[in-house]
Structure 1
């Protein structure tokens, strides 16, 4: 699989040939959307930023090998080579002040740095200046950016990383997070990769584009298919669909992640795939003649808070399981899945993603695929820490409860 992001002027790094039936010689490419934080299990060990000058490249140490080792568990199944573009998104907030308390005892609410919308052009504004500096710094570090622009929510910005192999993409996502946060800190603002910082606007996703290659040929492409999608591509999609609920704890690993996965905010809720709509879990971008290598699968659930090493490994494992076991793929959805009745979705076999971390934990606990992919130690540590986090959240009295029930009860 190739994570769509490549080395400037270089060829993708070679990996090991496949020894599994059904997909010999395939290569994994990934693409990423929206950078973020790994979970409290500390298995990610993010890169550590060293002091850097305002306009010079930021020096970061390599990410801790623990998270990378998990991804290498899947690497022997495909040859790691480059592939799909990634799009890290970030909210820029005015710093709320260390522990300034309001009369009610609540911490000051963060204020968006701007209130602009999708693709708004900010010719001279701290937010656009910060985004430009980020792109320039990443380029100096050998992490090229395909696109960058303002997203739909207030102070929400998107940076699309150029495609590369999955492991390098995960490294680049971790580096980009640190660079973005450090540059923001220098400007006196706060860069947050929280999936849903504001309840009334769209959250940030990390849409991941994936493709499988044999040498220089896209294994997802079939010129004779009506959708130009090969049997391998369809079975890869089928694997993602079947295992999506059980791997959601890895792709969406925080309590706040599930505040994003709700109807009405351009985030996937139902387990379906399409060739057009941006509301389904999986989208296959329209094929353009002459661009066979660009045919790819976009998985839209991951958010900026995920650990990219674990997330990419889980996505790869799910897709390859579909290929190995020859899962049948349902027909793509051509209508609005959100407007269907519950009965219609059930009749068409359309499931739903977990609605809370608690539900995601239960599904992950029963996942043989996730245990096999992560390994016993990482898997058990993840489950244990997420249970602890969920229990802490469940026992916390929130501002919502105070404002709604205190005057009433």
Structure 2
């Protein structure tokens, strides 16, 4: 869409405000709103100023002036505002017109540009599967003398005897019993359908929605694949719609990887492939799972760099409460066709040459999508350039249920890091695949690790409620 098209859209839809957005290092969206009357072609040339020192992980107060440069390709009409509002995603620049090297969206674009310079292909496509919970209530506290959280859902397994609810208390979702049941067990058909309607209204092509495995309102809505940066934009839009639709229904949605103890967590399985023009590069009929040699090398790069990669694709302390065996969590660094216990699954059902892809199942929604997709692509490109063979490296194929293997066999399988600190250490030791292309800078990695180390420490030094159960009577 051209700038003129955007200006025409504003006029044709009687838009009163234009909301300029950008994404910070942690993946949170921020915005500044201008009256539509103040937006013209020059706005897209000169940008919108903001204070970078007030954004966590950006700049110090002595160099705080920054500029949002709006991308006319990213606009959509906001379905939630009372006053007609057009939303537009922006790139971040310094006042002297330089791309800001800590801007996640800029990093995603540089990764796409780097792919083209390698001669491997022209475009990488991504399709995340974001899982989330829809709760009726959330309460939490973390202070000097108290620490607690409570979530609740009318369909939760623990509510079969809740007096406050009244009426019949049957048809609750059992623990691990929530995968695609019909109503009345699935009580959230209408809210998910409304989410889909609004996503479509904002321009997303939604493929399906359903209840997920966990009790208490776990859901999944899948949208169509696109190029790297556009998919990251779409995921930011997706989260915005999910959060605000839940709020309109008097509920709350969370993309936390593990909000419930003892049931499945929420992941963000990411499907990816590379094309050269219109030609798919991952397909080779008759090979293992119909995967080309190039695709196998891509897998080799992902699995080889996985410990470091996970610091970006699973960047929270809560991520590692999901990444434990036994909850369909992809903790095993192997690849396999159709096997959901492997970190990389190759879908084999109803797959065409253009649909041939790999699915990296380890990531979760605490990841900044611009950084996560860029890092995945760079790991895969490194595998292609170095011809990393996942079979020779011992990563599979592993066509067994790994969760049910004898312990001796499990010991032979490489696993994901056990904590965020371990993943950050792996990233410090193995970051050249991110920086040698100039997509990420060493300074960015150092800044990112410092911020995430501080998060890990903030959790580690606090008293945990379960410690009272374990140690109060010592």
TM-score, normalised by the number of residues in structure 1: 0.81
Kept after mapping to 2: 8 A contact 1:74/1:317: yes
The 1:337/1:100 distance shift into structure 2, 3 A limit, reads: closer
Q: 1:44, CA displacement in angstroms? A: 3.5
Q: 1:380, CA displacement in angstroms? A: 1.5
The 1:226/1:259 distance shift into structure 2, 3 A limit, reads: closer
Matches within 5 A, 1:250-289: 250-286=312-348, 288=350
Q: 1:340, CA displacement in angstroms? A: 3.4
1:240 correspondence with 2:302: yes
Kept after mapping to 1: 8 A contact 2:105/2:370: yes
- 67, 74, 81: which one aligns with 2:111: 74
Mean Cα deviation higher: 319-328 or 360-369: 360-369
- 14, 18, 27: which one aligns with 1:44: 27
The 1:133/1:49 distance shift into structure 2, 3 A limit, reads: farther
Counterpart secondary structure, 1:96 = strand
Q: 1:288, CA displacement in angstroms? A: 4.2
Larger radius of gyration: 2
Unaligned runs of 5+ in 2: 2-21, 34-77, 93-102, 117-121, 157-172
1:152 correspondence with 2:208: no
CA distance in 2, matches of 1:55, 1:159: 26
Answer 1 or 2: which has greater strand percent: 2
Counterpart secondary structure, 1:305 = coil
1:334 correspondence with 2:399: yes
Kept after mapping to 2: 8 A contact 1:236/1:323: yes
Q: 1:84, CA displacement in angstroms? A: 5.0
Q: What count of residue pairs does the alignment treat as equivalent?
A: 366
Unaligned runs of 5+ in 1: 1-6, 8-37
The 1:73/1:400 distance shift into structure 2, 3 A limit, reads: same
**Considering only aligned residues, what root-mean-square deviation do their CA atoms show, in Å?**
3.0
CA distance in 1, matches of 2:153, 2:300: 39
Kept after mapping to 1: 8 A contact 2:126/2:228: no
CA distance in 2, matches of 1:399, 1:275: 41
Kept after mapping to 1: 8 A contact 2:269/2:362: yes
- 189, 193, 200: which one aligns with 2:251: 189
CA distance in 1, matches of 2:87, 2:135: 24
Partner of 2:200: 139
- 365, 377, 381: which one aligns with 1:320: 381
Partner of 1:364: 427
- 48, 60, 65: which one aligns with 2:87: 60
- 128, 145, 151: which one aligns with 2:189: 128
Q: 1:67, CA displacement in angstroms? A: 1.0
Partner of 1:395: 461
- 394, 398, 414: which one aligns with 1:351: 414
Mean Cα deviation higher: 42-51 or 385-394: 42-51
CA distance in 2, matches of 1:200, 1:322: 36
Q: 1:371, CA displacement in angstroms? A: 4.1
Partner of 1:204: 266
The 1:241/1:189 distance shift into structure 2, 3 A limit, reads: same
- 231, 234, 242: which one aligns with 2:293: 231
1:88 correspondence with 2:130: yes
Structure 1 residues 129-184: Cα deviation after superposition (integer angstroms, max 9, x where no partner): 22111111111111111111100112100010111111100001011111111111
1:377 correspondence with 2:443: yes
Counterpart secondary structure, 1:378 = helix
CA distance in 2, matches of 1:83, 1:57: 32
- 361, 365, 389: which one aligns with 1:304: 365
Q: 1:341, CA displacement in angstroms? A: 4.4
Structure 1 residues 335-370: Cα deviation after superposition (integer angstroms, max 9, x where no partner): 2223334543555xx311001111111111112224
CA distance in 1, matches of 2:193, 2:390: 42
The 1:96/1:225 distance shift into structure 2, 3 A limit, reads: closer
CA distance in 2, matches of 1:279, 1:319: 21
> Greater RCO between the two (CA within 8 Å, min separation 6)?
1
Structure 1 residues 250-287: Cα deviation after superposition (integer angstroms, max 9, x where no partner): 00000000000001100111110101210100000116
Mean Cα deviation higher: 105-114 or 92-101: 92-101
Structure 1 residues 66-116: Cα deviation after superposition (integer angstroms, max 9, x where no partner): 111111221123356474543221101112358799xx9554511024333
